[in-house]
């Protein structure tokens, strides 16, 4: 039995946690292919500002989406900037984050429903809020977060 299946049967699920500004997010570890340091991608003309371009990853062209720009509209790139390579909706893409924290297991009891914020807040991609000690993790459905226009843009024709 593989480790992920054993964790789910035991009531827990593994997540990769990462930082965007002062917040800490969690995504399913099974979506993660690898973690890389920042390298400047090749820019694509007329791409939305948060799509930084593409990189060639061992023969696969991988679009790079900067979540910091998508969420807050700005970002700086330094030696701590990290790209998480994901498999999302049968595509490979990278997300730029401030830092990767760790891999953690959350049981269903540790994940609370996300509050309804209403109004202008777009929280459709938040599946819950997880707690690990004093840490609050925003548990994210990465496919919902990057769904729609982002995945359509990253589709290879």
Burial 127-147 (b: 16+ CB within 10 A, else e): bbbbebeeeebbbbbbbebbe
**Minimum mean pLDDT range among 72-81, 85-94, 106-115, 143-152:** 143-152
> Quick one: pLDDT band at residue 12, thresholds 50, 70, 90?
confident
pLDDT digits (tens, 9 = 90+) for 103-129: 999 999 999 988 776 655 566 788 999
Burial 59-98 (b: 16+ CB within 10 A, else e): eeebbbbbbbbbbeeebeeeeebbbbbbebeeebbbbbbb
Q: Is the pLDDT of residue 68 over 50?
A: yes
- Tell me the two tokens of residue 56: 């060639």
- pLDDT of the residue at 88: 87
**Separation of alpha carbons 102 and 99, rounded Å:** 10
Q: CB of 127 within 8 A of CB of 114? A: yes
């Amino acid at each position: 039995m593989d480790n992920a299946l054993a964790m789910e049967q035991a009531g827990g699920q593994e997540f990769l946690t990462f930082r965007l500004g002062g917040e800490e997010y969690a995504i399913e570890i099974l979506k993660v292919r690898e973690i890389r340091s920042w390298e400047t991608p090749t820019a694509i003309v007329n791409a939305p500002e948060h799509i930084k371009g593409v990189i060639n990853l061992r023969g696969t062209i991988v679009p790079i989406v900067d979540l910091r720009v998508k969420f807050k509209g700005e970002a700086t790139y330094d030696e701590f900037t990290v790209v998480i390579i994901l498999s999302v909706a049968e595509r490979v893409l990278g997300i730029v984050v401030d830092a990767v924290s760790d891999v953690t297991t959350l049981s269903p009891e540790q994940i609370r429903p996300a509050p309804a914020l209403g109004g202008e807040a777009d929280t459709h991609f938040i599946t819950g809020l997880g707690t690990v000690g004093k840490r609050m993790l925003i548990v994210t459905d990465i496919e919902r977060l990057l769904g729609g226009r982002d995945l359509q843009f990253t589709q290879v024709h």
